[in-house]
Amino acid sequence: MDRAKMANDFHIAGYSCAQAVVCAFADVMDMPVEQLAALTSCFGGGFRTGEICGVLSGGAMALGARWPHSEAGDMKAKSYAAKKVMQFQKRFQERVPGVRCQEIRDSKPSAEISPAAQRLGLTKSCAIYIVTAVEILEQMLEEA
């Protein structure tokens, strides 16, 4: 399954960055694309305020589905989920110089930060960030 291409296709179709990332992991989340798109419909554009990049929000949702903290008293699960989302953000920042949508959306990233971006011939910042996040998430899911 080419999740990077799926995510890029979702974005081209009109989904936000957050929606594109999370919908590419619909099978992992065991939820229909339509439901995931609805749940993340307000996350794009840094919650529409230029704050935390939507790819990170969408990625955090996918990580939470894989490593949930669903019982209030389960501090081990809470700590593990927090560790995973911090790893995700750290790995993203190793390739992208920030996490705020407003700071990074107008930058001119090189497709070299992402093998999938190179393979798909992507040149726009959001598209590159989307597939970069998908690559990182795939790596993290494989490592588990």
Determine the Cα–Cα distance for residues 126 and 105; give it in Å rounded to an integer.
Answer: 6
pLDDT-based confidence at 95, cuts 50/70/90? Answer: very high
Residue 117 pLDDT level (bands cut at 50, 70, 90): very high
User: Tell me: the pLDDT tens digits for 28-68?
Assistant: 999 999 999 999 999 989 999 999 999 999 999 999 999 99
Residues 97-110: tens digit of each pLDDT: 899 999 998 888 88
Contact 97, 111 (CB under 8 A): no
Asked if residue 144 has pLDDT above 80, the reply is no
How far is the C-alpha of 103 from the C-alpha of 33, rounded, in Å? 29
Q: Is 39 exposed, middle or buried (0-12, 13-18, 19+ CB in 10 A)?
A: middle
